[in-house]
Structure 1
Amino acid sequence: MQDRTTNRMLYSLKVSGPQTAAALADRLGVTPVAVRQMLARLHEDGLVDFEDSRESVGRPKRFWHLTNAGNGQFPDNHAGLTADILASVSAVFGDDGLDRLISHREKTTLTQYRTALEPLDGVEAKVNHLAEIRSAEGYMAEASRDESGAFILIENHCPICVAARACQKLCRSELEVFQAVLGPNVEIKRFEHILKGARRCAYRITEKPKNERQFAMKL
């Protein structure tokens, strides 16, 4: 059974990505020796692995990261069962039936998100609350702004990843939902994607110039 500190370590690697033992020790408030011992046990269990990186003159630094098994320690919302159900829907009702199912899910999610976000003023408040909603759904989401002022929505975990691999329309549907609830005055682009090998999904949300907003409103 894993102790609390080990679970915190796995969580830190999940949320913040590859880190050195020293960085983990500083983040967790424990000694580097204790961290190395925990990493050794997790490595034996197949939950973490490492890569050595030479960033400057001297010895290379060892960066630890989660393996697929390590990622599997986090909730998946019964994704295997969901993937089986999607496959069954496609087999019984065809692609049209699957499209209708995903469309229904999209409409339901859109209604829920709109109810939560419409009372809020400004894109920043909406993005922050969207991150809170997604975290409650198991996506370990967080919101921030980059150097250009664009809003960044990061999802460190995908609880439907197995299902999404089987039906990538689910991912496209979620992107469309984000666009709909945040409105036509913003542009959303996904620049990191778990299904394409990234460790997380990340979205850049930028407010459109006023002239483009006015044009969109006329349409």
Structure 2
Amino acid sequence: MENVATDLDQPTRQRVVRSILVNGPSTAAALGERLDLTPAAVRRHLEHLLEEGAVEARDPRQIGSRGRGRPAKVFALTEHGRDGFDQQYDDLANEALRFLAETAGPDAVKAFAERRASFIEERFPIVAAAHPEATPAEVLALVFTAEGYAASVRELPVVGEQLCQQHCPVSHVAHEFPQLCEAETAAISRVLGTHVQRLATIAHGDGVCTTCIPNKSNKKEQVTS
């Protein structure tokens, strides 16, 4: 009976995992609200995911002064938890890029990374025209999400915006070949016409890829000051 219950729970458990993938590290309360699950159901699914190593519990990042009481834990995907999303060909991709590096040199790997990242510059004007109400950062999020990155935009007070990618379909490969991340960052900078900075990457063990996009007004103030 226990195995039957586990099989029946699997679709809901996958919804929990995908919700964390798309929205980033989440509290049990946030998951329950998004998925219309009771607190008991959320706890049951999270306990199972913790046991199998698909998620891990973390202390939330502290922003501002801490209020009374202990803040709720947030649950984030582990590397094992990400394995079920578009990464079944990682070994083959790594072998292919190693062969390319050995036979044609590092410039060939860089050229491959740039060609792969070309979707950013190709899709950006098309998506921007289809969504005139979106900011450039929001257009980028739509472009990346369509490519499987589960991207979103977060406001950074005073600084600008932050492009957040909750999932990276090439993170395991990019861990060995950072040229993939570098080419994406360069393409983002070109379409926005401003310098951007990668603050974190899933490929290097962070929970999310983040790219800081400064306000152009701030950039002008820095130049004139």
Helix, strand or coil: the match of 1:187? coil
Show the counterpart of 2:137.
127
Contact 1:77–1:160 (Cα < 8 Å) also in 2 = no
Contact 2:114–2:180 (Cα < 8 Å) also in 1 = no
Show the counterpart of 1:13.
20
Show the counterpart of 2:147.
137
Helix, strand or coil: the match of 2:96? helix
Q: Does 1:29 align with 2:29?
A: no
1:179 maps to amino acid: S
Q: Does 1:194 align with 2:205?
A: no
Q: How does 1:136-175 map to 2 (within 5 A)?
A: 136-148=146-158, 150-175=160-185
Higher mean displacement: 94-103 or 203-212: 203-212
Question: Deviations for 1:124-168, whole angstroms, at most 9, x for unmatched residues?
Answer: 533222211110100001124232261221111010111111211
Rounded to whole Å, the distance in 2 between the matches of 1:142 and 1:4 is 25
Question: Deviations for 1:53-91, whole angstroms, at most 9, x for unmatched residues?
Answer: 8x7776785443322211212223733322211111011
Count of aligned pairs: 210
Show the counterpart of 1:101.
112
Gaps of 5+ in 2: 1-6, 61-65
Q: 2:85 aligns with which of 68, 74, 79?
A: 74
Q: Does 1:205 align with 2:216?
A: no
Q: 1:39 aligns with which of 43, 46, 54?
A: 46
Rounded to whole Å, the distance in 2 between the matches of 1:145 and 1:58 is 27
Q: CA RMSD in A?
A: 3.3
Q: 1:209 to 1:167 in 2, by over 3 A?
A: same
Report sequence identity in percent: 29
Gaps of 5+ in 1: none
Q: Return the TM-score normalized by structure 2.
A: 0.76
Q: 1:195 to 1:89 in 2, by over 3 A?
A: same
Q: Does 1:4 align with 2:11?
A: yes
1:175 maps to amino acid: T
Rounded to whole Å, the distance in 2 between the matches of 1:3 and 1:56 is 37
Rounded to whole Å, the distance in 2 between the matches of 1:210 and 1:71 is 36
Contact 2:77–2:207 (Cα < 8 Å) also in 1 = no
Q: 1:210 to 1:123 in 2, by over 3 A?
A: farther
Q: 1:52 to 1:159 in 2, by over 3 A?
A: closer
Contact 1:187–1:207 (Cα < 8 Å) also in 2 = no
Q: 1:111 to 1:190 in 2, by over 3 A?
A: closer
Higher mean displacement: 150-159 or 92-101: 92-101
Higher mean displacement: 193-202 or 60-69: 60-69
